[in-house]
Every structure is written in structure tokens, then in C-alpha cells.
Amino acid sequence: MAWASFSAFSCSCVEPGTPQEQLEWADAVFSGKVIDVVVPGGIVISTADPVKVTFEVSNFWKGSDDETLIVTTERDGSSCGYSFEEGESYLVYAYTDENDDLHANICSRTALLSDAEYDLAKLGNGFVPTT
């Protein structure tokens, strides 16, 4: 009888810091509504495939003051990807990855805006995008 072995990997996160610590760590912190989600397709699909999420920014606390931002995340939560849904609004803590793209994942304080009251209270008033 033949036995097959394989390794399975999943996302492992350290508890995110306070809103102020995450603000310091992140390259961009903003709230916005998802207006587009582009999921790669093809023959070979991986949970780590990059998903491009376009946000209409309503407020920002750090980073670009653009009205629209694109954030990359992994395709699946098992690879730490955040499952952003078109039409929903989020508070996003993003960092710049090795490709100079903004990147967000489930290991940060990123959350649905409706679930982010504590963070919003701690962050204070944000700024409205100007460009």
C-alpha cells in the first residue's frame, strides 16, 4: 500500500496592536467603499493569488489623499487574504508590499466599517481625500 504525504499551510497571525499602533505600522489607513474586486482566473489557481480591490475612499488617516485606492490581498483567508465584498465599506490598515502596492490582510485591524467603531473613536477625525 502506498502512502502519500503532503503539507498544508494556513495563515498564522500575531494579535494586531491597538488602533494607534496599527496606525503607526501601516503605510495607509483609510475608510472606503469597495467599488470593484478583480479575482484572477486561469488554469492554475492558488489561495495566494493576488486579488485587486478598488476603494472609493471616504476618509484617510495616513497615506495617499486619493479619492480611489487599489489594495491587493490574497485570494483566500488560508493565505491571510481579506474577503472584501463589493458594495461594502471598510476601515483598512494597509502596508506597501515588495511591489510598492498597498496590501491588506486578515492579520491587521482591517474590518467592516460597521464593526470598527472602537478604532474610529481612537483614530479621531480623518481627512477627506482631495485628489
Give 9-36 pLDDT, tens digit per residue. 577 888 889 999 999 999 999 999 999 9
How far is the C-alpha of 73 from the C-alpha of 127, rounded, in Å?
A: 24
Record the pTM: 0.85
Q: At residue 119, what is the residue type?
A: D
Dihedral of the alpha carbons of 41, 32, 100, 73, in degrees to the nearest 10: -40
Query: 80-109 pLDDT, tens per residue?
Result: 889 999 999 999 999 998 888 999 999 999
User: Can you say whether the dihedral through the CA atoms of 97, 117, 34, 48 is positive or negative?
Assistant: positive
pLDDT band at 49 (very low <50, low <70, confident <90, very high): confident
Residues 40/107, Cβ–Cβ less than 8 Å: no
